[in-house]
Amino acid sequence: MANLGFIGLGTMGGQIVDVLLCKGHSVTGYNRTRSKAQWLIDKGMRWANSPRDVAAAADVTFAMVTNSDALTAIMEGAEGVLGGLGRGKSFVDMSTVSPTVSRAFARRVREKGADMLDAPVSGSVVTLQQGKLSVIAAGGRESFERVKPILEDIGSKVTYIGDNGLALVLKIALNLNLAVQMMAFSEGVLLAEKSGISRDTVVEVFTHSAVASPMLQYRGPFVLQQPEKAWFDVNMMQKDMLLAMQLSRELNVPLPTGSVSNEFLTAARAMGMARLDFACVFDVLAQLSGKSSQ
């Protein structure tokens, strides 16, 4: 049993804490809104009043927050994570943020005598609950080996990538691919549907065909009906797409299909779909084609 901390108890973060508690770990948690964490407190998670208190109480502190600004907010200041870190402690950030921002914090964490890994996940709440979540990690190899058993309690596949920031680069590249796949899927579904084939039939065939990636198998049906609560909404996907665009400029890698997919996310936001699952790019394309999205 490890002495863990976790900051950011949203949809995915909260579910990860639930898994860690079920595995027998001790977890101290913090979230901006305590009420959203009450179900975890009821399950045995200890509550801390600040990110600093979490880091001070835990040997290994995890975080999963929305973006680079949110990471900065929990790290800095009198109540920030940096104030609670010390020699021998580890900080594992599972957020998808700017690699540049993450590397800068890794240096500051090392100045405290602690160490930091970036360890974003690939998958959803469903894959986590099925035990099929993937974790990609970067940072010091020794630090990785120390926390690897805990990461393996979170995801069935744990891969070490290399130096700080590289796991984030890979996660951004993965999410770029998800957006492009969803656009191509939407184009194919609409082309077949407007030719006279029912949408249900097209989705059934596509999700059991050679193009059916695991993502399309569970997200493809969203073009028939959006989930009650978005698994990964437009705002979150576009945040990652903009990170990909920034990297593409720095590395001189053209992203033609990624750029077009990003424009459809912008259109979705303009049409009031920002909080829907990003599969709603289908609805944008459907309206452009003169077809009802329902």
Q: What is the pLDDT of residues 176-206, one digit of tens each?
A: 999 999 999 999 999 999 999 999 999 999 9
* CATH no. of 3-163: 3.40.50.720
Query: What percent of the chain clears pLDDT 90, i.e. is strictly above it?
Result: 89
With bands split at pLDDT 50, 70 and 90, how would you rate the model's confidence at 4?
very high
Among 96, 91, 81, residue whose Cα is nearest residue 146: 91
Kindly provide the b/e burial profile for residues 130-162, where b requires at least 16 CB atoms within 10 angstroms of the residue's own CB: eeebbbbbbbbeebbebbeebbebbbeebebbe
Q: Average pLDDT in the 14-37 region?
A: 95
pLDDT at 294: 60
Residue 7 has pLDDT above 90, yes or no: yes
Q: Average pLDDT in the 205-219 region?
A: 92
- Superfamily of domain 169-288 in CATH is N-(1-d-carboxylethyl)-l-norvaline Dehydrogenase; domain 2 (1.10.1040.10)
pLDDT at 293: 61
Among 242, 234, 236, residue whose Cα is nearest residue 98: 242
Q: Average pLDDT in the 72-80 region?
A: 95
Q: Say if residues 119 and 143 touch (Cβ distance below 8 Å).
A: no
Residue 44 has pLDDT above 70, yes or no: yes
Q: Say if residues 164 and 103 touch (Cβ distance below 8 Å).
A: yes
Q: What is the pLDDT of residues 84-118, one digit of tens each?
A: 999 999 999 999 999 999 999 999 999 999 999 99
- The ranges assigned to domains in the chain are 3-163, 169-288
Residue 241 has pLDDT above 80, yes or no: yes
Residue 145 has pLDDT above 70, yes or no: yes
With bands split at pLDDT 50, 70 and 90, how would you rate the model's confidence at 46?
very high
With bands split at pLDDT 50, 70 and 90, how would you rate the model's confidence at 20?
very high
Q: Average pLDDT in the 272-281 region?
A: 96
HSE (side-chain half, CA atoms, 13 Å) at 215: 20
Residue 130 has pLDDT above 90, yes or no: no
Give the mean pLDDT of the chain: 95
Residue 291 has pLDDT above 80, yes or no: no
| Alpha carbons 117 and 125: distance in angstroms, whole number | 22
